[in-house]
Amino acid sequence: MTPEVFRFLTELRANNNREWFSANKERYETKVRAPILQFISDVGPKLQKISGAIVADPRPTGGSLFRIYRDTRFSKDKSPYKTHLGAHFFHESAKRAPSVPGFYLHIAPGESFIAAGIWRPDPAALGKVREAITRNSDDWKTFRRSKLPIEGDSLKRPPKGYAADHPEIENLKRTDFVTSVRVSDKEMCSDAFVKTFADECKRMAPLVRFVSKSLGLAW
């Protein structure tokens, strides 16, 4: 990736309309989308070394790169385009399971980050994760030893069926199991960013492994 990715997103934020995007569509496809798709292709083999179940799909449509077009059907904000880019590297079971863990890259000027885990799991998946916590599974122990922070939303009260004095009650209240690290624009434009991303994913892998095993998925 190059600084052109961030220049484009900065300009898009100030000109979030179809006329501007149409005039700059070729620029988006060649200077923004193409290098990100190349990044996805390059990082794929490194993620496979972390887990053969993680998919990096460099297709321009239907792959790891999220669409830049916003779904405005149920939003008061009718801006047609996202002013950030996202790439997901989900578990291979994503097409047949409603909630799966994985890794994620968020690209936005001055606000980029790498994340891992599972965000907003469906009730069945969340129940399985909580059950794995209560039985103190080996993968949960490994994750706890990693000292990775858990981010995301939590319930204000204990979930049904769990005592308020349970030793893991704060984790059992969680409705997201995510960890992340911020990265600068300069880091993302470095030749070393493929390695940086893979290294951070490896560091955060204990959380993805724990969630995968909790859901009965291969790792």
Whole-number pLDDT of residue 23 = 98
Whole-number pLDDT of residue 98 = 83
Q: For residue range 106-135, what is the model confidence (pLDDT) as tens digits?
A: 999 999 999 999 999 999 999 999 999 999
CB 59 within 8 A of CB 96: no
**Amino acid found at 185:** D
Average pLDDT for consecutive 10-residue bins of the chain (219 residues)?
96 97 97 97 98 96 95 86 96 88 98 97 97 96 96 96 96 98 97 97 98 96
Domain coordinates in residue numbering, the chain: 3-214
Whole-number pLDDT of residue 94 = 87
Class of domain 3-214: alpha beta
pTM attached to this predicted model: 0.94
CB 200 within 8 A of CB 192: no
Residue 212's contacts (CB-CB under 8 Å, 6 or more residues apart) are: 51, 53, 91, 100, 101, 218, 219
